[in-house]
Amino acid sequence: MPTTLPAPVLTIRNPATGAVVGEVPVTPIDVIPAVVARARIAQAGWAARTLDERAAMLLGAKGALAAAAERMGTLASQEMGKPIKEALGEAKYAASGLEEMVREAVEALREEVLEDANVTTRLVFDPFGVAAAITPWNFPILMPVQNVLPALVAGNAVIFKPSEVSPLCGQAWAECLQSVLPEDVLQVIHGDGKQGAALVGAGVDLVVFTGSRATGMAIMREAAGHLTRLILELGGKDPLLVLEDADLEAAATFAVRNSFRNAGQVCVSTERIFVHESVADRFTQLVVEGATSMKQGDSADESTQIGPMSSARQKSIVMRQLQEAIAAGARCLAGECDGGPASAGNFVRPTVLVDVTPQMSIMRDETFGPVAPIVRVNSDAQAVAMANDTPYGLGAAVFGAPDHAARVAERLTAGMVGINKGCGGADGSPWVGSRHSGHGFHGGKYGTRQFAQVRTISRSR
């Protein structure tokens, strides 16, 4: 008799302890076209509902999300190593912020009317059809919220593929929404890049992706054959500029937090620091003190500030860049620089480098790890030129006297710049990258409208 092979599964291990967290079945590639076909059938009925009806149905998931928040946050912490307090905060926000997020999406997608002396035009925001949402592991609940919810409000059916690193919490989040949605309006598939590529190539109408530049480019190549609409948030190499008139304590506090939060695994982590030579010694001292004072450990410990890297693969990328930089002349002032073995398991200590050069990989390629490379500069012009010397352009920050910092900020090419703060904007601001950090964007009214097809319907007055 032929042997029946067991269905393949993804086995998820805690990066801090190695313990098995759980399993999910891998979606066979050959069933993905059928998943898309079911989504297309379901989407017709979903789009036939009014905007307000879709919103009301989605708001019905608030109770389920609140009830599942503890479990989702714990899973996120166990799957990718995020400190438990941060993971629980992310999960609770998915429930507490649902009403506001849905309301903002409805307002963005509400029909508008334009008039002149001769013509009245209605701006109507229609769904594209079937959207594929492929989300990353570093914010495994927040990114589905931002990439799936507006697509659903707009009337699209969604096929959601969470990262293979953190699929359990993504599945749990999706199940809360599925409990109030019509069948097949939101479906989940699991797997790695092969499943993602198959989904992009299966004739969907919109692809929403957050992840690496290399994967984003591959998605663009595949999507070109179908002229598929894309919203891509890609990598970053975010600079921090510390001017000679900066509040050094505030700048250093930000540098420590933004370089090392989530073990540096944030798309807008500070990955390059340019500090005026007149204040470089004091600033560097403060950053070293901050780096060495942070508590690193098991993400389940509520006092932990930095957990492990999400995987051995991610750690290897960070360690390779560090070792290459030190071999090329960079000096390590804190962290992984004692010449001995690296931290055990998947941990990388918060690391501060000086004497780095623009040619080093750690100054050019996305690191996505807890490393703060510091470069001395002699002028604003040099700082701006070095900050802009990158194919990326996601976020940036400038610390200095407010008017001075504002003038410098306007010369940076990043899509989002913060003055004496991080790059996040006021409520309603889009989350947008320039250059190789983004193609399309999301968030706020203008980002939400990218999940819909705008049509103009005009008549004479």
Q: Which residues pair with 334 in a beta bridge?
A: 352
Kindly state the tokens that stand for 206: 């919109």
Q: Report how far residue 459's alpha carbon sits from residue 119's, in angstroms, rounded to the nearest whole number.
A: 6
- Report the sign of the C-alpha dihedral through residues 321, 322, 328, 329, in that order: positive
Catalytic residue among 233, 271, 336, 366: 233
410 belongs to the catalytic site: no
Kindly state the tokens that stand for 236: 């970053």
267 belongs to the catalytic site: yes
Residues in Cβ contact with 128 at an 8 Å cutoff, skipping those fewer than 6 apart: 154, 156, 205, 206, 229, 451, 452, 453
Q: Report how far residue 118's alpha carbon sits from residue 116's, in angstroms, rounded to the nearest whole number.
A: 6
DSSP code for 7? P
Measured between its terminal Cα atoms, the distance across the chain in Å is: 77
Provide DSSP, 111-151: -EEEE-SSEEEEEEEEE-SEEEEE--SSSTTHHHHHHHHHH
Containing 48, the helix (H) or strand (E) segment is helix 32-48
Residues in Cβ contact with 376 at an 8 Å cutoff, skipping those fewer than 6 apart: 275, 276, 277, 280, 354
Catalytic residue among 267, 271, 366, 423: 267
Q: Report how far residue 270's alpha carbon sits from residue 248's, in angstroms, rounded to the nearest whole number.
A: 16
- Which residues are tagged catalytic? 233, 267
